[in-house]
Chain A
Amino acid sequence: MKEQHDDLQPETIDQVLEDGVSWPPDRQTTRLIQHLQSGSQEYARANEHSLDRIWSRLAQSQKHPVFLQAQWKRPEKKLIVLKERKVMQDHTDIYPPIYLSQPKKGRSFLRAMGLGLIAAVAIVAMASFALFPNLLRSAAQTVNRSTITGAAQQQQGITNGKQVCSFAGGTNGVLQKTLWAPSLAWSTQGQIAVAGYSTLKVISAQDCSATYSKTLQNYLASWSPDGKQLVTADADGAALNVLDTKGNTLAHLSFAKLGAISVGPVMWSSDSKKLIYVAFDTLDQSSIKSVDVASGSGVTTLLKLPVESGVLLLMPDGKSLVLEHLNRAEKKKDIEIWNIDSGKKTSTVSFSPQSGNVQFFSPVMQSISADAISPDGSQLALGTSDHGTYQVQIYDTTSGKLQTSFDASTWPITALSWSPDGKYLAESTSAIHIYDVNAQKTVATFGNVDEQHMINTLAWSPDSKGLVSSTTLVKVNDHSQNTVTVWGLN
């Protein structure tokens, strides 16, 4: 009976909280609401500031002149500012309301940098390489096919790299920690695809002449092993698009059809008929699925991934993957190798941050700035950082043990990529370095950049005689251009 007279009822709860007073009035209820409102006020104001900052940044966007007129019609305070609580009148002087129209300073370069160069490049590199294995796969399967030279050649040993050509690869995606590094893919037909924030470009690897360009917000590009199909992921369209070499659409696979709310990384089957992809079933649950490209049907779940894990890399054999998995007991993330067929973990990489100073929130991100899996899947390379020391560490994926490591430079390692023949590892810091894995030494260094720039993506040609890189300004909150450069290695 008491419940029937309770002033808190689901049917009226919104109104009670809106008014701050229940009916019939109950002192305890009112007091509780007052305390919840006052206790959360500081947080609420921080949220108002966030909305204010977003609005200011929208208004500052020079890319959308029409929007500038919206500045004159800014929302009135009552609609965007947290509603002034009747019970909080005493505090309004302490916390003056923040209005959208209040002038705000833009984000400074220092603030952007304050987020940490290492963190920024780490995310860029991880994002890039999370999308790379498909490239490596197609490259590995076609190591003897022609690219720049048009003829199969036995690798004689790399001693230097020379620029073949370069072109504008499109604007950077904003912003700060979510900088949108382009995905690069080099086909067996001698085409290079650049999937960036605003454009998809396909150019000739010989002279950087454009084959076609599309205005698309992509985050992934991967050529099929036969070099005839390119799959890209359209972020806003929420779909994978499969294109032919001239840019004609062969298949449009919506994420919904693929049984996912988002997709990536993606790799091709060896016969170029299927795509194997990481499907986000929900924000917290992912799985590995495959789909028949031509029909867009036959979506099959190959492996349901454990919760609180994320795929770093799909292995070139299409049967394994590299997973980061939250280890709550030790408050860190483990890097694990999983077999897709058996659905079981096969090894845990023995990587651990050298400093031991692991942050619970994102420990891996604190220490790994780049990763790449060898073409045969037997070795995992990690670019690591530890208090200003930057190393490349190579692990055996079967045992999970460290095989070798070498110091990089005084710069963070921003990208790693294995040559399709498995002999070399390309790494980028303030320059591109080619590391001979067997000889355990750097055999070529080229493509230096200054402190204002960073090399954020690397991809090999299928015959291991070419490399393509993307360079951008470090100022990650800028819509600056990516410069894509094709290198000939000899």
Chain B
Amino acid sequence: MQYKDDDVLEPLSNQRIEGAEYGELYAELYRRYASVLFAYVYHHTSSREDAEDIVLNVFLSVLQNQRFPTFEQDKQEAWLWTITRNKTVDHLRRASRRPQVSIEWLSEPLYADDGCSPEQISLAHEEYVQLANAVRQLPELQQEVLRLRFGHGLKSDEIGSVLEKKGAAVRVLLTRTLRLLRRLYKDQAEGDQR
């Protein structure tokens, strides 16, 4: 594999890292980026298997350059995002399709083994249904932010990377969305008091 941007990818050290040290660095790299890169690809492909394949290919590309883990972190991140975006675009082009279905990410939790009373389970079920309906009524972007936060466990800055928005904007959007949804519970509480 040849990197066209070798000047950008100057390693911190000229020493080649091998063996177990490389493995450790690689594992750390995976820990740090796999989740957000997967979320990005899944967001665009709407296919879990396609997303797995593409992220796998990204990390296989990393494997072909043993010095990669020694690059500065921001360069690593830039490189990984570039490769991931390219592979995603390439996949979409090859597959000749665009994502057109939303990913269902909310599902009703199980209550049976919680030791809850039937009344509590009924209330929880009712709350969940209301919440799920409210989420589905949200604009697509707000739904995506929630999915990436709660379904992928991403922080606001990472969500920003996936959606190509600034982290601060994501924080504002996330806050507004949660405030909006919280009204469901406030309304319900007020109803209970009456």
Contacts and interface: CB of A to CB of B under 8 A. Distances in A.
A51 interface: yes
A46 interface: yes
Given A54-B55, A64-B60, A362 B178 contact: no
Interface in B26-61: 26-28, 30-31, 34-35, 38-39, 42, 44, 46-57, 59-61
B24 interface: yes
A74 B46 CA distance: 28
Contacts of A41: 109
A366 B90 CA distance: 20
Q: Size range of the interface on B?
A: 35 or more
Interface stretch (A172-180, A267-275, A435-443): A172-180
B106 A43 contact: yes
B98 A73 contact: no
Contacts of B52: 50, 53-54, 57
Contacts of B53: 174-178
A109 interface: no
A54 B56 contact: yes
Contact of B150 (A6, A36, A252, A283): A36
B89 A364 contact: no
Contacts, number: 270
A231 to B, nearest CB: 15
Contacts of A310: 92-93, 96-98
Given A10-B168, A67-B26, A72-B20, A39 B106 contact: yes
B143 to A, nearest CB: 11
B73 to A, nearest CB: 16
Interface string A71-112: 111110001101100000011011000000000000000000
Interface in B144-176: 146-147, 149-153, 155-156, 168, 171-172, 174-175
B127 interface: yes
Contacts of A237: 2-5
30 contacts: A8-B182, A10-B174, A10-B175, A26-B182, A31-B127, A32-B184, A39-B106, A39-B107, A39-B128, A40-B150, A51-B38, A57-B52, A64-B63, A68-B23, A79-B31, A91-B114, A176-B49, A176-B53, A177-B47, A177-B49, A216-B2, A283-B89, A284-B98, A308-B98, A310-B92, A324-B96, A326-B98, A360-B100, A360-B101, A361-B46
